[in-house]
Amino acid sequence: MKLLTLSPLLSVLLLSCSGKSQELPTNTKKLSLKEASAVAVSKASPYIWVAEDSGNKNRIYGLDADGKIAHTVTVTNAANVDWEDLATDEEGNVYVGDFGNNDNLRKDLCIYKVNAGDLQHETAVSPAKISFYYPEQQQFPPKKSELFYDAESFFFYKGNFYIFTKNRSKGFDGTVMLYRVPNQSGNHKAQLLGTFKACDSYHKCAITSADISPDGKKVVLLSASKVWLLSGFSGTDFLGGTTEMFELNDVTQKEGVCFKDNETLLIVDEKSKKTGGNLYEIKLADLKSKS
């Protein structure tokens, strides 16, 4: 894989196929939030929206271009059990994925909607709660070798949510399951669409965020040290096209990714001691290369 030239917001090490690496020092935008677990952009708002996960407030935060909090919206009727990802739709509505499930014990997995018009206010009442369950899960918790039902990643596309699971099983082999849930209030049986193999290192390959490009032609998945780009698929057969994996040769707690536009990604990571707590930007053209 050839070395990459990054845009001014990303400072990472990138690994070539030959094993050589090069540090490309650039400016990053520091976040005032310690545990940014998600990132999204909405056509109804000028801000970059982020959220924090379990143990934090039921708020989404609008960041300016420098990564500073410019606006805060408290979702008054939504508890933050474990908010793990954000998604947006064509109208600019924001969806909060409250489906973090580290111990595979939860029976209250859900997605909250925040109306686009409420993004300018300080408080919002979610008009829709989309609850769902995994029909394949029969035990709470299942065996340690079957801890498949955590999730930190989803996106919205043409009336449905697409959720990529975070495998926490003993003997991790990189298996990721893709589920579909309709964008409708109620309690839904998530539909298993297929599986994807990342790699067999949980620390480097557990999937932590996902998004689809505005034109619907590309899907991106994120882990602590890698980005996967899915493209060339037909319709919603997201796993049926071409999969490219790109190494980000620094391992931080990267928790959120989104498309800023069809050719640009935004990434956030959580702060841990002297690492992380940043907003990064990268062009897809800089990622693309042939191995």
Domain spans in the chain, listed from the N-terminal domain onward: 27-286
3-state helix vs strand vs coil in the chain, percent to 5: 5, 45, 50
- Average pLDDT estimate for 147-168: 98
Confidence band (pLDDT; 50, 70, 90) for 19? very low
pLDDT at 121 exceeding the cut of 60: yes
The class of domain 27-286 in CATH terms is mainly beta
Long-range CB pairs of 136-143 (<8 Å, 24+ gap) are 136/192, 137/104, 140/104, 140/105, 140/106, 140/107, 141/103, 141/104, 141/105, 142/104
pLDDT score, position 69: 96
Short-list 87, 37, 28, 27, CA closest to 57: 37
pLDDT score, position 289: 57
Alpha carbon distance 277, 66 (integer Å): 13
Residue identified by tokens 């014990």 is 105
The pairing of strands 123-124 and 69-75 is parallel
pLDDT score, position 135: 98
- Average pLDDT estimate for 282-289: 80
Provide the H-helix boundaries in the chain.
Answer: 202-205, 284-287
pTM of the model: 0.91
Quickly count: other Cβ atoms within 10 Å of residue 228's Cβ. Answer: 20
pLDDT score, position 197: 94
Short-list 9, 2, 1, CA closest to 282: 9
Q: What is the pLDDT of residues 170-198, one digit of tens each?
A: 999 999 999 999 999 999 999 999 999 99
pLDDT at 105 exceeding the cut of 70: yes
- Average pLDDT estimate for 244-250: 85
Mean residue pLDDT across the chain: 89
Give the rounded distance of the alpha carbon of 104 from its chain centre: 19
